[in-house]
Structure 1
Amino acid sequence: MNRFTLSIAAAATALSFASQAFAGDQYIDGTGFAASGYDVVAYFDLPQNAVGQSQPAPVAGDKDITAEYNGAKFAFSSEANKTAFLADPAKYAPQYDGHCAYGVSKGGKVPGNPTLWRIVDDKLYLNITKNVVGFWEEDIPGNIDLAEGNWTSIESAPASDRAIPKFTSAAPVN
């Protein structure tokens, strides 16, 4: 390897560490798990209801089938789902480190409720309350655009330490 190749490799490594250093913390509630212990891979196999209708209940993870990502513990309902997650965790982890998608579109970090979910363009989005879901669904593409623009300036802020209103997790089950 010549000096130029080494310089490129060193720069790529430095950028990799830098981007990790600026990543925000995953939202974790009182369960101690990301997504309140629900299996984030399983969302992608659930039928998705039309805008304006509630989504099916998420699948609870097993506290004995876990993986770490972005400083958080994720629980899975099966070893196969854990394996899929480990192969591409960014594909399955909720957007905005598990914070409410509509909240991020408005410039803040508030908890994401894993029972109030939607998959858009193969990405998992959570919102905080049923009322907020209604606002978010009024213009999902526009709210995602706003959230993406806001996320760059708030991502490195600490994760929300607030509880999800009127929410009791049923997960993990085992």
Structure 2
Amino acid sequence: MKTLIHLSRRNIIASTAVLMVAAMVSISIPLTANAYDEQSTSALNVDSNGIALQGYDPVSYFTPGGPKLGTSNFIDVNEGATYRFANTDNRDAFKKNPEKYKPAFGGFCAMGVVFGKKLDVNPQLWRVVDGKLYLNVHKEAQARWLEDVPGNINKANLNWLNIRDLTPAAL
């Protein structure tokens, strides 16, 4: 009987150790979202309908209150991506100066680009830095991005030149 108890304790300890290692790995390697098409060579992160920013209004990131979902009533197509807007004023502002409002790295995760990856984003995880919109895939990526924003922008800018026309699957 003592052996059975000892073995079950050993099994419990071993199982606990395995679970702890799995938990640590899942924390240290955050989950990633996939770009809309793993085989696309597009430098724009759009869904299968060509919608950018998962339908969020790009101009709204630059206004008080932050990002708002756009509507199909107010759209603009720019370089193959369809942007939706919350109102006509935002659409008109975008049309006048799209480069001001389009997200960096084609709307892919900024921290992903630092690591040479094209990852989808969570439109609620964003920062405007020096007038440019940067998005991230999840809170852990956002936290890492914020640790060294200028350094990460420099690394991402260099990497983007090499990965912008590659498929996410190739990275």
Q: Return the TM-score normalized by structure 1.
A: 0.69
Q: Which amino acid aligns with 1:42?
A: S
Of structures 1 and 2, the one scoring higher in RCO (CA 8 A, sep 6+) is 1
Structure 1 segments unaligned to the other structure (5+ residues):
1-22, 48-55, 162-174
Q: Do structure 1's residue 126 and structure 2's residue 131 form an aligned pair?
A: no
Give the percent of matched residue pairs that are identical in Structure 1 and Structure 2.
Answer: 40
Number of residue-to-residue matches in the alignment: 129
Query: What is the RMSD of the two structures over their aligned residues, measured on CA atoms?
Result: 1.9
SS in 2 for 1:156: coil
SS in 2 for 1:107: coil
Which residue, out of 140, 148, 151, partners 1:139? 148
Contact 1:25 1:70 in 2 (8 A): no
Q: Give the 5 Å matches for 1:1-174.
A: 24-29=42-47, 32-46=50-64, 58-158=67-167, 160=168
Distance, in Å, in 1 between the alignment partners of 2:115 and 2:69 is 30
What is the Cα deviation at residue 137 of structure 1?
0.7
Contact 1:25 1:71 in 2 (8 A): no
What is the Cα deviation at residue 70 of structure 1?
2.3
Distance, in Å, in 2 between the alignment partners of 1:41 and 1:31 is 20
Runs of 4+ in 1 over 4 A off after TM superposition: none
What is the Cα deviation at residue 90 of structure 1?
1.2
SS in 2 for 1:114: strand
Larger relative helix fraction? 2
In the TM superposition, what whole-angstrom CA distance separates every residue of 1:13-43 from its partner, at most 9, and x where no partner exists?
xxxxxxxxxx943112367520011110011
Q: Which amino acid aligns with 2:118?
A: K
Structure 2 segments unaligned to the other structure (5+ residues):
1-40
Q: Could you tell me which residue of structure 1 aligns to residue 15 of structure 2?
A: none
